[in-house]
Chains A and B, each alone.
Chain A
Amino acid sequence: AQSVAQPEDQVNVAEGNPLTVKCTYSVSGNPYLFWYVQYPNRGLQFLLKYITGDNLVKGSYGFEAEFNKSQTSFHLKKPSALVSDSALYFCAVHSGGGADGLTFGKGTHLIIQP
């Protein structure tokens, strides 16, 4: 079985500072990892994914994520936070088999303070 853990329910960052939202995973086989963002009463927006290749993945809105196989982590990062980045962030894993559903973490509320 696959699982994802987001150890922080909430992360607070001052505007302009770098941000990190943590994610660790557990899968058998190769991991296919995703980050999505959800704004209040909205759907999930795709940010980025890791399939294979470079460990640093660049995505939308200036976000990037670093895949670390030895630590089984896929932390989301941004060099300079914006107030508009405040939202709920989900890390997800896919088995890479058929049209399998994603397994999501519990989500992390990111709050950017002006």
Chain B
Amino acid sequence: AAGVIQSPRHLIKEKRETATLKCYPIPRHDTVYWYQQGPGQDPQFLISFYEKMQSDKGSIPDRFSAQQFSDYHSELNMSSLELGDSALYFCASSRLERGGPVRRDTQYFGPGTRLTVL
């Protein structure tokens, strides 16, 4: 079965540079989520998009922005990179699954992009 695709898998940047991470959701999935996992940490939710509109916002720094495109892929743009941004960045996707008034989707995660800021 097709999975979530993330590119690049590894990225090395200098401080104050910019980076763009890409995510291609599972076919027919309409929702994309971004997470950041620091070394030895649990994943922290950054932001999500449903049908190309921002849906929920977590602990995403103002230096980061993201969007979802018409083909449902998403990009996470990171500017003025800091040493502390070094982490594994996961994208997850899901398909809207309603159970009454609320969503009950399962989020499927990609392999992640390992960002190293020097």
**What residues make up the interface of A, taking CB atoms closer than 8 Å to B?**
30, 32, 34, 36, 41-46, 49, 51-52, 90, 96-107
Contacts and interface: CB of A to CB of B under 8 A. Distances in A.
Given A46-B106, A96-B102, A96-B104, 10 more contacts: A36-B109, A44-B92, A44-B109, A46-B107, A98-B50, A98-B103, A99-B94, A101-B35, A102-B43, A106-B41
7 contacts: A96-B102, A97-B103, A98-B50, A99-B33, A99-B56, A101-B46, A106-B42
Chief secondary structure at chain A's binding surface: loop
Given A32-B104, A96-B103, A90 B42 contact: yes
Contacts of B45: 100-103
Contact of B58 (A46, A101, A106): A101
Contacts of B25: none
A99 B48 contact: yes
Interface string B42-70: 11111111100001101000000000000
Interface string B1-23: 00010000000000000000000
A100 to B, nearest CB: 5
Given A44-B43, A46-B106, A99 B112 contact: no
Contact of B42 (A34, A52, A99, A104): A104
B85 to A, nearest CB: 18
B84 interface: no
A106 to B, nearest CB: 5
Nearest to B45: A101
A97 B92 CA distance: 17
Contact of A101 (B33, B99, B106): B33
A102 B107 contact: yes
Nearest to B3: A43
B106 A49 contact: yes
Contacts of A90: 42-43
Given A36-B109, A43-B109, A44-B109, A99 B103 contact: yes
A3 to B, nearest CB: 11
Contact of A43 (B50, B102, B106, B110): B110
